[in-house]
Structure 1
Amino acid sequence: MVRLWISALQLSELFVSSMIHLLYGFYIFSTAVASDMSQALNECFRPNVSVGIKEVESRAITKKNDDLPPIVLVHGIFGFGKGRLGGLSYFAGAEKKDERVLVPDLGSLTSIYDRARELFYYLKGGQVDYGEEHSKACGHSQFGRVYEQGHYPEWDEDHPIHFVGHSAGAQVVRLLQQMLADKAFKGYENTSENWVLSVTSLSGAFNGTTRTYLDGMQPENGRFMKPICLLQLCRIGVIIYDWIDIPWLKAYYNFGFDHFNMSWKKIGVSGLVDCLLGNTGPFASGDWILPDLTIQGSMRLNFHLNTFPNTFYFSYATKRTRKIMGMTVPSSILGIHPLLFIRVLQMSQWRHPPDVPLPYKGYCDEDWQDNDGALNTISMTHPRIPIEHPSRLVVNDSECQPLQPGIWYVTLPSIIFSVTTITIMFGIA
């Protein structure tokens, strides 16, 4: 009877959680459509007298910023770049402030590896090459999207770039820099880590998140999903979305799995069944974002990633929790969105299963209780598992001057800053 009650409670929680996430997704999508319709109506009735002035201003900005390095903003899980979801902006319109601010549209659910490869070709141009060995191992095409014109084709050691990564985007940038150091791009033998001038992390997923286990990843190894969980529902929805393959809808929002060729035009009904049963596709091979965001997956990534001596590193961590009588609880009831409140509460109460080996030596549940509803604060500060990278806690900005490369400057707690702040930080404005 007790087991029956527990199962019923778990199913109820799954139903409520899935409905909330579905409604939230619909809210975002409908907001984007409404914004596009509003913008279209405004353009119909807007006078054209200021067009000439705007063109002159645009040319002036281009000339002024000609010698400034671009700032590339890399989105996190379920994120999107410029051109997706109509007029919505993942980075609150930062790309509209300055044409040197670039927001690439990478796969919202693809693996850290695949996104790092896509980011390189987005900047340099050409057809995305995922690598022969990786593609065969993961069961997808070696080549992907074609960028006829790179967004910064002159990118090299003499023309380095500032990168800003949010959430999983921070790991994408770190892996890309490692690939540059390892000269991992065929036809580009002159790449180096010095192509990256700075890396700024906004709530970066450096060391994984316990959110993945709450949503359905197995804590035993961080590779597989539980049979019944929120991520299984997500998996089914993504597979069907890609299989239906409606061009205008995928142009509006794309999960990024086109190189897995899951369209009905290519795999038919039998292929859909295979994907749903977990025999083929990204969820079968593990080549998607969630395994990379488990603690174990992050450790596997971090083992091969370096903090380089000539690059500046900045990290801004966030949290929505506080301590009350020794317990970690959400920091506010009215000040946190209801959906986020539940997620913060769940993560603050997470306990590693006692019958499962700890993910690393020295793991302690209490260290992972502070969170912002998506990531644990301990994970956002700097790369620390399995190897502690050089870091310095920023209490007073003046104490960190002059800035030294090769060190992660960590700011706690959350602060709000804009792309303008980033440009001032590096003295490029």
Structure 2
Amino acid sequence: MARFILGLVELGVSAAVHLLFGFYVFSTAVAADISQAAAASGCPLLRRPPPAAGLVDVAAAGEEEERQGAAPVVLDGSPPPIVLVHGIFGFGKGRLGGMSYFAGAEKKDDRVLVPDLGSLTSIHDRARELFYYLKGGQVDYGVEHSQVYGHTRFGRIYDTGHYPVWDEQNPVHFVGHSAGAQVVRVLHQMLAEKAFPGHDTSEDWVLSLTSLSGALNGTTRTYYDGMLAEDGRSMKSICLLQLCRLGVIVYDWLDIPWLKNYYNFGFDHFEMSWRKVGFSGLVDLLLGNTGPFSSGDWILPDLTIQGSLKINSTLKTFPNTFYFSYATKRTRKLFGITVPSSVLGVHPMLFLRVLQMCMWRHPQNVPLPYKGYRDEDWEDNDGALNTISMTHPRIPIEHPNRFVIDDSDCNPLQPGIWYYKIIEGDHILFIVNRERAGVQFDLLYDGIFERCRKHAFRKSPPTVPNETSQ
């Protein structure tokens, strides 16, 4: 009984912290939009003050473009664009008003795209959406997949792709944060297998992949949030994910247009709106008889160790693609025990999870998720992912890799090898709020973009945007 009560208290605290953070992000976006609208109307009190001399006002740089909203950015030719792919609960350009998931990093280069993918949809579905976002056309989730998981085959229509010339002569650089890195890997495999009808794709369409706190091998946090360690697909009856499930179902069922335009979980292809299913459909969704949470076609099962192992067993590291991974951690050893490395340095939403993940022990009566699994290997973490999961693909087989201390240690880059670096930081240090990371933010993204532009190429170095001929 005491353990049950303690579990309920932990659930209440965790739910409250996550709700407060979600409300903070949402209200910040709304406040920024109101401020922009007021400034546009000529109200002098709400105009943004000019930046100090020598500084670039990144947030303001794209405000006018965001207010205009409509026309998609369409890139053509060379150099290859850099595509920033968000993680779980993330959002792309056009959602949450003018807020940037990557905290304005996209303004560091003229040829950067930030797609908006389903924030809770499965890795497979997000990979399909990413392809059509770039190439154009109507999202095709696949006949077999759609039938198995009970949703419509087709989704959003992109009349014009954001990079319609995409092919092996015009490849792209991908930067994936969290689950976004695994989305790119699945898309890459689909390209290699020519899985998009009407398109002659190949693995050479991807020039480089940079994984930033990438979910490459799953995370033990999924079990704390409510996934069962027994199979990695089912949920506990009472847990944080059940609360999330109920909230998402009601949100999608209400289908309030302006609200879903502002933020969308990405389940439109499941047709959960009251206009489609009525009240009886809502009951079925809540009871777990239908919908993505019933079929398992959503992001959390893909982020368990078992789910990641299943996905990884079908994925390759390709010989002509460059790979670099930044693994984050907020833990250290104290008298032989793994503990959080900082109190003030960890985001309040993640501190409890950092501590819990340090103490994770796989249930003794449950089969190990893979051969050779050891709890101690999974103790270091950043509050959302285990550090061991972020370095390079490890399960079921370890891919070619090389640990580096300094970015320059890997130059010249060799394709087909996962270069990885471990940096101090929690899971959201380099997104949403750039002030938290300070100078580290610029050092990180400047390094990523420089690598894409000057060190990851198959033929001759591409022309760097804004670089004038001498």
SS in 1 for 2:320: coil
In structure 2, how many angstroms separate the alpha carbons of the residues matched to 1:179 and 1:397? 30
Distance 1:237 1:282 in 2: 13
Q: Is the 8 A contact 2:134 2:161 kept in 1?
A: yes
Q: Distance in 2 between matches of 1:21 and 1:240?
A: 18
1:35-114 aligned at under 5 Å gives the runs: 35-45=32-42, 67-114=78-125
| Aligned mates of 1:197, 1:230 — CA distance in 2 | 38
Query: Given the alignment of the two structures, is residue 202 of structure 1 paired with residue 228 of structure 2, yes or no?
Result: no
Question: Does the 8 Å contact 1:201/1:316 carry over to 2?
Answer: yes
Matched, 1:224 2:234: yes
How far apart are residue 396 of structure 1 and its match? 3.8
1:422 to 435, 448, 455: 448
Q: How far apart in 2 are the matches of 1:293 and 1:206?
A: 9
Asked if residue 17 in structure 1 is aligned to residue 14 in structure 2, the reply is yes
What residue is the counterpart of 1:282 in the other structure? 292
Which residue number corresponds to residue 179 of structure 2? 168
Contact 1:94/1:418 (8 A) holds in 2: no
- Aligned partners of 2:407 and 2:328: how far apart in 1? 18
1:389 aligns with 2:389: no
Q: Is the 8 A contact 1:157 1:195 kept in 2?
A: yes
Classify the secondary structure of the residue corresponding to 1:413: strand
TM (norm. structure 1) is 0.93
State the secondary structure of the residue aligned to 1:45.
coil
SS across alignment from 1:318: strand
The residue type paired with residue 374 of structure 1 is A
Cα distance in 1 for residues equivalent to 2:76 and 2:336? 51
Q: CA deviation at 1:154?
A: 0.3
Is this contact kept in 2: 1:94–1:101, CA < 8 A?
Answer: no
1:143 to 154, 172, 176: 154
SS, match of residue 92 in structure 2 = coil
Q: Which residue of 2 aligns with 1:7?
A: 4
2:12 is the alignment partner of 1:27:
no
Structure 1 residue 234: Cα displacement:
0.3
Alignment of structure 1 residues 311-390 onto 2, 5 Å: 311-390=321-400
Report the CA distance between 1:44 and its aligned residue: 2.4
Contact 1:202/1:315 (<8 A) preserved: yes
Partner secondary structure for residue 332 of structure 2: strand
Q: Secondary structure at the match of 1:386?
A: coil
The 3-state SS of whatever aligns with 2:328 is coil
8 A Cα contact 2:76 2:164, kept in partner: no
Q: Which deviates more from structure 2 when the two are superposed, residues 407-416 or residues 266-275?
A: 407-416
**Distance in 1 separating the partners of 2:180 and 2:222:** 16
| Per-residue deviation, 1:46 | 8.2
Aligned residue for 1:76, secondary structure, equals coil
Q: Is the contact between residue 394 and residue 409 of structure 1 (CA under 8 Å) also seen in structure 2? A: yes
Q: Which residue does 2:142 correspond to in 1?
A: 131
For residues 168 and 21 of structure 1, the distance between their equivalents in structure 2, rounded to whole angstroms, comes to 18
SS of the residue aligned with 2:41? Answer: helix
1:159 maps to which residue? 170
| Equivalent residue runs for 1:403-418 within 5 Å | 403-414=413-424, 416=441, 417-418=443-444
Deviations 1:31-87 (A, max 9, x none): 11001111222222389xxxxxx99xx9xxx9x996211000000000000000011
Shift of 1:413: 2.3
* Two-structure CA RMSD over aligned residues (Å): 2.1
Give the counterpart of 1:308 among 314, 318, 323.
318
Cα deviation for residue 149 of structure 1 reads 0.6
Q: Deviation of residue 368 (structure 1)?
A: 0.4
How far off its partner does 1:419 sit?
Answer: 4.0
**Displacement of 1:383 after TM fit?**
0.2
Report whether the alignment pairs 1:254 with 2:264: yes
Compute the displacement of 1:399 (Å): 3.7
Q: Deviations over 1:306-343 (max 9, x none)?
A: 00000000000000011100011111112223222111
* Cα deviation code 1:390-413 (max 9, x no counterpart): 000012444422211000001112
Matched to 2:447, the amino acid is T
Q: 2:18 is aligned with what amino acid?
A: H
Asked whether the 8 Å contact 1:143–1:259 carries over to 2, the reply is yes
TM-score, with normalisation over the residues of structure 2?
A: 0.85
Is the CA contact 2:151–2:271 (under 8 Å) kept in the aligned structure 1?
yes
Secondary structure (helix, strand or coil) at the match of 2:423 reads coil
* Alignment-mate amino acid for residue 84 of structure 1: R
1:95 CA drift (Å): 2.5
- Shift of the 74–266 alpha-carbon distance from structure 1 to 2, 3 Å rule, reads same
Instruction: Note if contact 1:65-1:100 (Cα within 8 Å) is conserved in structure 2.
Output: no
Measure, in 2, the Cα distance between the counterparts of 1:216 and 1:399.
40
1:179 — aligned with what? 190
Post-superposition CA distance 1:73-129 (Å, at most 9, x none): 000000000000011100011233444110000000000000000000000011000
The CA distance in 2 between the partners of 1:317 and 1:337, in whole Å, is: 17
Stretches of structure 1 that go unaligned for 5 or more consecutive residues are 48-53
Residue identity matched to 2:138: Q
Instruction: Spell out, residue by residue over 1:181-207, the C-alpha distance to the aligned partner (whole angstroms, 9 max, x if none).
Output: 00000111x200000000000000000
C-alpha distance in 1 between matches for 2:184 and 2:412:
24
- What is the letter of the counterpart of residue 230 of structure 1? L
